[in-house]
Amino acid sequence: MRKLVILALVGLAAQLVDGALGMAYGLTSSTLLLFAGVAPAAASASVHLAEIGTTLAAGVAHWRFGNVDWRVVGRIAVPGAVGAFAGATFLSSISTESAAPWMAAILFTLGAYLLVRFSRPLRANRAAGPLRGRFLGSLGLVAGFVDATGGGGWGPVATPALLVSGRMEPRKVIGSVDTAEFVVAGAASIGFLIGLGAEGFLLPTVAALLVGGLVAAPIAAWLVRIVPAQLLGATIGGVIVLSNARTLIRAGELDGPVPPLLYAVLATGWLVALVLAVRALRRTRRSRTVAEAALAADPAPASPAVVEPVAPIEAGAEEPRRLAAAVEG
């Protein structure tokens, strides 16, 4: 019973992170399950089965709020499902001893990516025109494969790529990616079912993760307004990096002064990322203050000849406000 309560808290924490960042449910829960000693394939299988419920709830909520671009969902979900099925089959076919460092390496890389991603503002490229189907298909295929083999990664791979394109509103990026993840989680679960059998799913773990995630969903909607996503992303990235570094160090059979030195380097990098995240957050808020002041001073529409400056996007916000089109100093 105590273990199930802990797993429910894991699901709750993972959903809080995912609700605030629009990503990292799988990364957070898989990392914590691996840290608790769950086998890699069983951890990923259980997380994806639980995600069928959490992503369905998230997708319905995003659809009701008008946050879903169904064209993007259709073009990214099907290749994502193919990649996830292939990834689940691959992870199921290798031994636990071989899978542990593989999965830890993927999670470590994605954790490091979160550190870099949230230590600086993300600037949108205001390119015109819809996203191409070839780009969406390739992105879905890669993100789906990484998601299944790493126990998470759909959001961290797909969401930033679509945000950087600048061709979608941030709220629609998050809503479309979350909605498509329902199909990806289902395909991954089928792959694990074929590769591992029904016994490969830890059903009590799935139930605990699902309950914790569903309880956390409304709390996450409130949390996103209180905790800056910039800081939360950098914090979670550091936790994921350090947790999976432990598995990689053991797999490499490193001993002596090397492990403490590596931990010290990673901890220093984490601290630097947090400092940079704070600075990026302050710059973003200053830019918004200037934009709001400019709009209040001159509410007249901007001339077509004036180029609109690019505003940094604060990750996790529902919808960044546009900067004034006529700020000339």
- Indicate whether 323 belongs to any domain: no
Determine the Cα–Cα distance for residues 246 and 316; give it in Å rounded to an integer. 29
**3 state SS of 312:** strand
Percent of the chain with pLDDT over 70: 82
Q: What is the pLDDT of residue 4?
A: 78
What is the average pLDDT score of the chain? 79
**Number of folded domains in the chain?**
1
- Indicate whether 177 belongs to any domain: yes
Determine the Cα–Cα distance for residues 102 and 216; give it in Å rounded to an integer. 30
**3 state SS of 123:** strand
**For residues 247 and 86, is the Cβ–Cβ distance under 8 A?**
no
Q: Which domain holds residue 169?
A: 2-296+308-313
**For residues 167 and 131, is the Cβ–Cβ distance under 8 A?**
yes
pLDDT tens digits for range 14-51: 877 776 666 778 888 888 888 777 888 888 999 999 98
- Indicate whether 301 belongs to any domain: no
- Indicate whether 321 belongs to any domain: no
E strands present in 97-159: 122-123
Which of these, 33, 91, 56, 62, lies nearest to 208 by C-alpha position? 33
Lowest mean pLDDT among 47-61, 186-200, 222-236: 222-236
DSSP code of residue 327: -
Q: Has residue 226 got a pLDDT over 80?
A: no
Amino acid at site 79: P
pTM: 0.70
**3 state SS of 255:** coil
- Indicate whether 215 belongs to any domain: yes
- Indicate whether 319 belongs to any domain: no
Which of these, 244, 306, 241, 288, lies nearest to 268 by C-alpha position? 241
- Indicate whether 329 belongs to any domain: no
Q: What is the pLDDT of residue 123?
A: 58
Determine the Cα–Cα distance for residues 309 and 70; give it in Å rounded to an integer. 29
Q: Residue 70: pLDDT band by 50, 70, 90 thresholds?
A: very high
**3 state SS of 313:** strand
Q: Which of 80-84, 115-119, 150-154, 306-310 has the highest mean pLDDT?
A: 80-84
pLDDT tens digits for range 109-121: 888 888 888 887 7
- Indicate whether 134 belongs to any domain: yes
**3 state SS of 306:** coil
Determine the Cα–Cα distance for residues 46 and 128; give it in Å rounded to an integer. 41
